[in-house]
Amino acid sequence: MKQNIVILTGAGISAESGIKTFRDSNGLWENHAIEDVATPEGFARNPSLVYRFYNARRAQLHDKNVAPNLGHDALVKLEQSDGFDVAIITQNVDNLHERAGSKKVLHMHGELLSALCMYSNQRTYYKDDFDHTTECSCCQRKGGLRPDIVWFGEVPMYMDEIQSLIEQATHFVAIGTSGQVYPAAGFVNFAKQLGITTTEINLVPSDNNYLFDHTYVGPASEAVPQFVNDLINNKNN
Ligand code: OAD
């Protein structure tokens, strides 16, 4: 029987790809207070700053030094191995899982390469800069596009789908996430209630590490391949 592996990823899996985590510099994200760049209130106060901030994050994805690392690659290897169904729920807004080759990725906190039209609620793929002067392709109006990012105080995406994925899972894995932001931080509690095997992979165990059955400590580029090899070789399930 196939094993259903549901994997929650956070900023830690992309750290070695050159994208900074959120909580490693005194609560600042790339030198900005989170409430200034990751809340609807911050956007209402200073939209130009928020557009500039996400334009810079989006441009960073095109930097030649930013690329998937061995941690992302290992998850593709798992997906391509016989006997495993893999779904990735990511809190990351980068595109590194897709670039590595993962096929089933849910971006619960949105995506940098997407713009959301506030007039029509339609999403458009965007790889370049946009701001309040950009005409939106769905309704040809200016001023309606915003970064397609779930800001604090907003409801994460795909919650129904995520719930049903975890209900069907045989193994829940959290990689490189501090477990401080809900609802994602609570997925492990849900998995435990369902009696599913749980594994944490992190540079340092998170505060809710006690909820996990297994822990792999180390950089994602080493710990994720180790975990995947163990799983494929039946050492941890
Ligand atoms: P955090 O910045 O809170 O946590 C990063 C985690 O990655 C920590 O637990 C680190 O120990 C771990 N880490 C760092 N480097 C690592 C490495 N090389 N290998 C493995 N682990 C490593 O990031 P998230 O938990 O993803 O939300 O943050 C959750 C959400 O808070 C984000 O999605 C974002 C943020 O504010 C929104 O933007 C809505």
Q: pLDDT digit string (tens) for 88-135?
A: 999 999 999 999 999 999 999 999 999 999 999 999 999 999 999 999
Q: What does the pLDDT read at residue 89?
A: 98
Contact 187, 20 (CB under 8 A): no
State the catalytic residues: 109
Segments of the chain with pLDDT less than 50:
none
Q: What does the pLDDT read at residue 229?
A: 98
Chain-centroid distance, C-alpha 78: 18
- Give the Å distance between the CA of 216 and the centre of ligand 1: 16
- Give the Å distance between the CA of 175 and the centre of ligand 1: 9
Environment class of 213 (CB within 10 Å of its CB; exposed 0-12, middle 13-18, buried 19+): middle
The model's pTM: 0.96
Q: What does the pLDDT read at residue 27?
A: 59
Q: What does the pLDDT read at residue 168?
A: 98
The phi, psi pair for 126, rounded to 5°, reads: -140, 120
Q: Which amino acid is at 205?
A: P
Q: Looking up tokens 């997906």, which residue turns up? A: 79
- Give the Å distance between the CA of 134 and the centre of ligand 1: 31
Q: What does the pLDDT read at residue 220?
A: 98
* Greatest C-alpha distance within the chain: 56
Q: What does the pLDDT read at residue 30?
A: 72
Atom of ligand 1 nearest to the CA of 150: 39
Q: What does the pLDDT read at residue 188?
A: 98
